[in-house]
Structure 1
Amino acid sequence: MKYKLLCSDLDGTLLSTKSDVSAYTIAQINRIKQSTRIILVSARMPNGMYYIQRDLGILDQPIVCYNGALVLDGTKELLSVTVPLKVVQQIHEVCEGFKTDMGLYAFDEWHVPKASERVEKEIKYTKTNPVFKSTLRTLEEWEGRKIGAHKVMLMGTKASADQLMPLLNKKFGNEVNLYRSNDTLIEIAPKSVSKLTAIQKLMGPGEALQDVIAFGDNFNDIDMLSNVGWGVAVSNAREEVKQIAQSITSSNTEHGVALYIEQHLLI
């Protein structure tokens, strides 16, 4: 098979560890990158993606951040869509009754109210650092700056996430996209964007979705994998993702993306 674009999720997919790509993956990307554009597509912030681009030798390519809410090509901003601050404030009010912290992301800013095990993991895995500030103070400052959030991360317990997810879907499902990252995390993104819409934004002359092969593992990858030319799930993906994928490769820890590239992609 030969494709013009390869689009891959990072965490749980391209990354063989919690934070890095393997030498095998780097070698396989190097083998095809002269004939295939390599686009990283993630829920991460830009600073959590640049070092991976650098390791892969693809800093000349655009990146899709925040599940498609921010698309960058070097220093050039190709797309920026945020959750309106009023909606973020309303979500915060709903969450106050639950044991849930709110992480707020805009461009290369990440604000959290306090340190926690989850925040420490995020720092370690994404190699980025947050600003520690109360959520109310951050929201007040962002209101003054007239900016919204590219992503909101709700960090709680499994019990609080179980309660919040249907509640937030009911109240805000028409205004935002909500994804359950894992048992304790809920990610919130602008309604009008997804990984798929971001990829469509990056289509160049003579390129179409049928020219794209994509890799993913989680709910926020379903739209992308379902609509590109060939969607591949890693074996550690959620069952719902594997059901819609056209192929299943090995797990991320077994370098599944690199293995699929080596076995199936032509130069």
Structure 2
Amino acid sequence: MNKGNYKLIALDMDGTLLTEDKKVSEENRAAIQAAEQAGIKVMFATGRGIQNVEAYIEELKLEAPIVTVNGGEVWSAPGKLHSRALLEPALIKEMHALAIEYDTWYWAYAVGDIYNKERWVEQVDARQWLKFGYYYEDAACLQAIRSKLDSWGVFEITNSHPANLELNPKGIHKASGVRQVCEMFGYDMSQVIAMGDSQNDISMIRECGLGVAMGNAQEEVKALADVITTSNEEHGVARIIEQYILS
């Protein structure tokens, strides 16, 4: 049982826990329930905003903390905000201008809402902003945008898909969120299993005791992980829980 004295499992959602059609498989559901019965806390650490997480929290009956928008918000329990890290509205305006210049798809999470290319907000200063994202299938253009943003020196730049970019304030990432959760319970990061598939999972995969890359993960993520499991379509989350917690 529980080979590494693990106390917490931090799960990315898209490409990790969820199948391609955004469902939780029966195998993953059963494994999560078994882990919780064994006294392990199971939490989400996702790039999604809380409004796109709540249905899954209810479905799995999770009561653990939640890390949303790549660490931009940390919830001590469902419905209880612990911390929030905001992007300056001036930066949102500059990122928006860059999206227009390169004609990319873009989106942004504000507190309580999500905006995108088809539905933007005129009063940028009137919102509290958490994350900005770009999606562009032209890799060269995406790289040009990334280089420009990187040169500003104020962002944590990751992705949740090879064709996108996600921006949070510098120092805000999934690992910073998971660290806050560990502090709540007196856990060490070595007692956490973190699982993911994209660049926005790298921080927690590197910092946690067991960093797991999905079989479908980006190659860069696989190279940095301690373990590679099966894909999100093959219940990779359940495999790790069975192997490291339940066996």
1:27/1:183 CA distance change after superposition, 3 Å: closer
TM-score norm. by structure 2 comes to 0.90
Residue in structure 2 matching 1:161, options 142, 150, 153 = 142
Q: Does residue 178 of structure 2 align to residue 199 of structure 1?
A: yes
Residue in 2 that maps onto 1:257: 237
| 1:6 alignment partner in structure 2 | 9
| 2:188 corresponds to | 208
Offset at residue 260 of structure 1 (A): 1.6
In structure 2, how many angstroms separate the alpha carbons of the residues matched to 1:7 and 1:177? 20
Distance 1:206 1:149 in 2: 30
Cα distance in 1, alignment partners of residues 124 and 80 from structure 2: 22
SS at match of 1:96: helix
Report the Cα distance in structure 2 between the residues aligned to 1:107 and 1:63, rounded to whole angstroms. Answer: 15
Offset at residue 76 of structure 1 (A): 1.8
Counterpart contact for 1:9–1:221, Cα < 8 Å: yes
1:89: how far off?
1.0
Paired with 1:243 and 1:101, the residues of 2 have a C-alpha distance of 29
Could you tell me which runs of 5 or more consecutive residues in structure 2 were left unpaired when the two chains were aligned.
none
List aligned pairs for 1:70-109, cutoff 5 A.
70-72=73-75, 73-109=77-113
After TM superposition, the score normalised by the length of structure 1 is: 0.84
Deviation at 1:93, TM superposition (A): 2.2
Secondary structure at the counterpart of residue 225 of structure 1: helix
Distance (whole Å) between structure 2 residues aligned to residue 84 and residue 156 of structure 1: 24
| Percentage of identical aligned residues | 29
Could you tell me which residue of structure 2 aligns to residue 125 of structure 1?
none
Q: Structure 1 residue runs of 4+, over 4 Å off?
A: none
**Corresponding position: 1:190 with 2:169:** yes
Gap change, CA 1:205 and 1:97, over 3 Å in 2: closer
Q: Deviations along 1:72-92, whole A, 9 cap, x unmatched?
A: 222221010111111111222
Distance in 1 between residues matched to 2:133 and 2:196, nearest whole Å = 20
> Superposed, which structure 2 residues align to 1:127-142 within 5 Å?
132=119, 135=120, 138=121, 140-142=122-124
Alignment-mate amino acid for residue 214 of structure 1: A
- Residue 42 and residue 233 in structure 1: after superposition, are their counterparts in 2 closer, same or farther (change >3 A)? same
Equivalent residue number for residue 127 of structure 1: none
Partner of 2:70: 67
Contact conserved, 1:70 with 1:107, CA < 8 A, in 2? no
Asked whether the 8 Å contact 1:217–1:233 carries over to 2, the reply is yes
SS in 2 for 1:262: helix
Letter of the 2:20 partner, please give it: T
Residue-pair matches, total: 240
